[in-house]
Amino acid sequence: MLKEGDPAVDFCLEGIDEEGKEGKFCLKDLLSLPLILYFYPKDDTPGCTQEACDFRDNLNSLRSKGFRVVGVSPDSLQSHKKFKEKYGLNFILLSDPQKEVLRAYGAYGKKKMYGKETEGVIRSTFVISPEGKILKAFYNVKAKGHVESLLRELDITT
């Protein structure tokens, strides 16, 4: 698991940008601004939709503080495109079907779900400085209310 002060793990993934265009996105290119990198399990499911729409609805506040938002899941680019269009998502979504970046950030592994241990995406968020350092790391976040608490946290640290 990554923690504050650790270097962010570099990556390059295929994704869909703010305007719906497909391309390759590398961490180093995303760090022109402080980055909020969040990992979520699956497009168009209740919790993931709640979280994505909360980021969408608060994007102006986050941008006014100088932050860029990028979401990552194992879903395909086609799934991301539909998800973005259906909910008007106005930030980059990246596809990690091999789960390599998810694992590198500690956002994939064993977790408890309904009392049973399973393996899957661990809903996580990282705030990364333009220099590539982890400023904040949040694991096992709840979808509902996460963006609101992140905004409060960023008010304290910015």
Catalytic residue among 12, 26, 48, 53: 48
Residue 26 annotated to the active site: no
Helices (H), 1-157: 27-30, 46-57, 59-64, 77-87, 100-104, 146-157
**Positive or negative: CA dihedral 7, 80, 142, 109:** negative
Residue 31 host element (H or E): none
Residue 106 and residue 1: Cα distance in Å, rounded? 5
Is residue 15 helix, strand or coil?
strand
Residue 41 and residue 139: Cα distance in Å, rounded? 13
Q: Look at phi and psi of residue 147 and say left if phi exceeds 0, alpha if psi is from -120 to 50, else beta.
A: alpha
Catalytic positions, written as ranges: 48
